[in-house]
Amino acid sequence: MVRAYNQEHVYRHPWDRVTTASWRKFTDPDTPAVLSHVLDVHTLSRRLDLAAGRLHTVRSITVRSPPLPFFLRRLVGAEAVVCHCVETSVVDPRARSMEIVAVNASLRGLIEVEERSSYRPHPDNPETWTIFRQETRIRCKPFKALAAVAGKVEQRCADRFQQNSVKGREFVERICKYLEAESSSSTAAAATR
Amino acid sequence: MGLTKGSPAAQCADLRSAYHDCFNRWFSEKFAKGQCDKEECVAEWEKYKACLLEHLEEKHLRNILLEAEGLSSSIKGDNVSR
């Protein structure tokens, strides 16, 4: 069984600011305090395709899982586990698109999570607003012994992913506001010069 | 043990910050605004990557790193045999 859900969010900030904030989401000095489930982020590969003008990046995102349900705790021998996710992204600034796919690299025998996200200019207000779309699919492997509880685990994971996604969105909003203030104060400074 | 398990390649944290700072600046000031004709932060990236190649032990992540470098096949010594 697959559990899937979609979400959308409108940022009232232009595309270049929101995508900048999205990169900073995991690398900001405040990240450990705000997104405490994120333990570590590394860039594993980056490639700038000069002909197409696109940036391809692969990052690893190491997260702490939510506290595991009792039966899994017995199985794994720990209250929570560390999980490595791999995030692949393509940014095309001429088309103003950013596409991100994140999958879990750990525990794939137990659960598969795939999160597809995109940032694009909002059709109603392309110069000043950005629309974020995200589709998350979660699938627990149907072990016979686990089948009865798999649904519960999926729901719990879905709840937690949604909570973390909201936290991440709020943080991107905060960084956008900060970037906005920074750019307007430098514009003001330039104007007075 | 717990620490290194939780954060792979903790030794590279400083080089990573230097790279990400450079990257974030380049992305916001140039790339996102459509100036995509030149690669920047190359020196920072090379240093950071060299550190990861040395210290990143988690198998799956390491494979991605090696694949991106085109090292995954040559490391098995296929090129050397004949």
Mean pLDDT across B30-55? 92
Residue A170 phi/psi, 5-degree rounding, is -65, -35
pLDDT at position B9: 77
Q: Does B63 touch chain A (CB under 8 A)?
A: no
Closest-CA residue in chain A for B37? A50
* Domain boundaries along the sequence of chain A: 2-181
Nearest CB to A43; choose among B6, B19, B33: B19
Query: Is there a contact between A91 and B31 if contact means CB atoms under 8 Å apart?
Result: yes
Contact B64/A at CB under 8 A: yes
Element (H, E) at A177: helix A144-192
pLDDT band at A154 (very low <50, low <70, confident <90, very high): low
CB atoms A94 and B5 under 8 Å: no
**Is CATH 3.40.50.300 correct for A2-181?**
no
**CB < 8 Å to A54, chain B:** 36
Query: Which of A44, A91, A104, A186 to probe by mutation at the B interface, max B CB count within 10 Å?
Result: A44
Amino acid at A108: R
Q: Specify the pLDDT at position B76.
A: 41
- What mean pLDDT comes out for the span B40-44? 95
- If you measure CA to CA, which chain A residue comes closest to B18? A27
Q: Which residue has the higher pLDDT, B6 or A33?
A: A33
Measured between CB atoms, does B24 come within 8 Å of chain A? Answer: yes
SS3 sequence, A62-106?
EEECCCCCHHHHHHHCCCCCEEEEEEEEEEECCCCEEEEEEEECC
Is residue B78 within 8 angstroms of chain A, CB to CB? no
Q: How confident is the model at residue B7 (pLDDT cuts 50, 70, 90)?
A: low
Kindly report the pTM of this predicted structure. Answer: 0.79
Query: Residue A72: left (phi > 0), alpha (psi -120 to 50), or beta?
Result: alpha
Share of chain B above pLDDT 90, in %: 43
Contact A58 B48 (CB under 8 A): no
Q: Which residues contact B2 (CB under 8 A, 6 or more apart)?
A: none
Check A42 against B56: CB less than 8 A apart: yes
Highest averaged pLDDT of the listed ranges A46-55, A66-75, A179-188, B6-15? A46-55
Say if residue A4 is exposed, middle or buried (CB neighbours under 10 Å; 0-12, 13-18, 19+).
exposed
Q: Which of A15-24, A163-172, B67-76 has the lowest mean pLDDT?
A: B67-76
Q: In this structure, are residues A162 and A5 in contact, taking their beta carbons and an 8 Å threshold? A: yes
Q: Are strands A82-92 and A38-49 parallel, antiparallel or unpaired?
A: unpaired
What pLDDT does B81 receive? 37
pLDDT (tens digit per residue) in A81-95: 778 889 999 999 999
User: Which tokens sit at B73?
Assistant: 């096949």
Contacts of A20 in chain B (CB under 8 A): 24, 27-28, 32
Q: Is ipTM > 0.85 here?
A: no
CB atoms A82 and B6 under 8 Å: yes
Mean pLDDT, range B37-42, rounded to an integer: 90
Cα–Cα–Cα angle for B63, B67, B71, rounded to 5 degrees: 100
Residue A187's pLDDT is: 65
CA distance B5 to chain A (A): 8
